[in-house]
Amino acid sequence: MDDLSASVNGLRTVIEGTHQSIRSELDAMRGEGGQRSLRVEVDNLREQLEQGILELRADVDLVAESSLAVSDLETKVSALGVRVTRVSDQLRDARGLANWAFSKALSSDAGLGGDPSPDHRGARRFSYSAVMAPFQAPQELVKETFMTYLDRYFTGFTGTILDLGCGKGAFLEACQDRGLTAIGVDSDPVNIAICTGLGLRAELADVFTYLNQVADGSLDAVFMAHLIEHLNIEGKRELMAVLHQKIRPDGIAVVETPNTSSSRVMTTMYYLDPTHQSPLHPEAYKRVLELSGFTTMDAFLSGELEGAEMLPDSERLMNFSWVGRR
């Protein structure tokens, strides 16, 4: 009974600590700028949080009465952690979008598009952000992963890193935290609005259009995480050929893409994204990248798949990374 009481008290502490932490963040955001769109978003997230907390408090009481197993409650508390992470990511995006909208309201020429607009048939264009949101890893986890590239290959780096397909800015934030200069490019206006609203330097453009405007041999380094798999084989070859032309001698290119040698990645993850094309085996990627003129500095698999600890690296690791020098 003492063990049960200790478990119950421990879980109560976790629940209430999580509750207070996220509520404080919500309250702080609600007071930022008084923007109505941000207040509405925060209030919606607060309602989700409070409902989840009420359910868990009721479950704690059931455990105390021996009507619910401690392991079942621990599972639910873990699920709350996942929900809280999602809320934190939504708060980050809401803050960026609200700041961007506020700055746009102050300027008649923001230089960015807004939400996807109707085409000539009245249908809304495909919104990558909206479709992929449920499947994306938490921003903090992505940022931590990107930090490993910075610590391994960019210590003491003084140039500018171009982040192609920057998404919501996790790599740009990682560079900011490390005191590095970076600029992002993405074709999704929602992603660029979030980045801009968070004070990150990012531009709305198609990757090839952007690169065509860059002087040959002028780029210090290029980072691409989960971009190249969105191109067919000719697009992959063309992109790397253009990068070889645009990156200065001795400059660096970093590519991260799904590990297509893993059957688990291919059957459970790769085609969750409807825009993924032409999967290449890691060794085939290396060959394509080297044929573009780069010299391979490093190539490795990373990112543990959940529940795959006993499988070989080729199966249990979700990403293939390649680092090359011009």
| The predicted structure's pLDDT at residue 305 | 86
Q: What is the pLDDT of residue 117?
A: 37
Nearest CA to 162 among 181, 144, 190, 146?
181
CB distance 103 to 110 below 8 Å: yes
Looking at the chain, the number of H-run helices and the number of E-run strands are 12, 7
Q: For 186, list phi and psi in degrees, rounded to 5.
A: -155, 150
pLDDT number for residue 13: 74
Give the pLDDT confidence score for residue 120 in this predicted structure: 40
Domain ranges of the chain: 2-106, 132-325
Predicted local confidence at residue 100, as pLDDT: 62
Q: Which CATH class is domain 132-325?
A: alpha beta
**pLDDT at residue 252 in the model:** 96
Do 162 and 182 contact (CB within 8 A), yes or no? Answer: yes
Q: Pull the structure tokens for residue 120.
A: 């000539």
Per residue in 224-246, pLDDT (tens digit) is 999 999 999 999 999 999 999 99
CA distance linking residue 234 with residue 286, whole number of Å: 15
List of the chain residues with pLDDT < 50: 1, 33-34, 106, 108-123
| Of 191, 41, 179, 66, nearest in space to 116 by CA | 191
Lookup: tokens for 1 = 């009974």
